[in-house]
Amino acid sequence: MDMNHTEAFRKDFYRSRGRKPEHCRRYKMLLAAAAAVIISILLFGITVRSVQAREPEDSRVKYYTSIQIRRGDTLWEIADKIADTYGLDTRDCVEELKFMNNMKTDTIHTGNYLTVFYYSGQEQ
């Protein structure tokens, strides 16, 4: 009888190894879901950091003022002074000055006024 009992135990043991108990399946599904959530959070965090890294850390405020054009002034010289002062590209400054002053060309005339920009209380 002991042999039959042992054989029956072995058969039950090996048969049950092929089937997973319900709590093991739930545990694995829970573990997979938790891993998916963690990976999603990490990917979201990396995305947010990369976007923040692209944003300028400069918190300067842009202001506007008018200047009177003097004899010998050119739009490019004025834009170059602004660009040098604030670390900007001269071509971008020329385009912005033209846009701000509704200009089609780079031509300016002595005695006229030109609206220019500056940052954080630092007038030119």
Say which CATH superfamily domain 62-119 falls into.
Answer: LysM domain (3.10.350.10)
Nearest to 49 by CA among 38, 58, 41: 41
Distance of CA 15 to the CA centre of its chain: 56
With a cut of 50, say whether residue 123 has pLDDT above it: no
pLDDT (0 to 100) of residue 19: 56
Give the pTM: 0.52
64 near 99, Cβ under 8 Å?
no
Cα–Cα distances (Å) from 54 to 24, 51, 61, 73, in that order, read: 45, 5, 19, 36
Per-residue pLDDT tens over the stretch 11-69: 666 665 555 556 677 788 888 898 888 988 888 888 777 766 665 555 788 999 999 99
- If one compares 7 and 109, the residue with the highest pLDDT of the two is 109
Give 99-123 as a 3 state SS string: HHCCCCCCCCCCCCEEEEEEECCCC
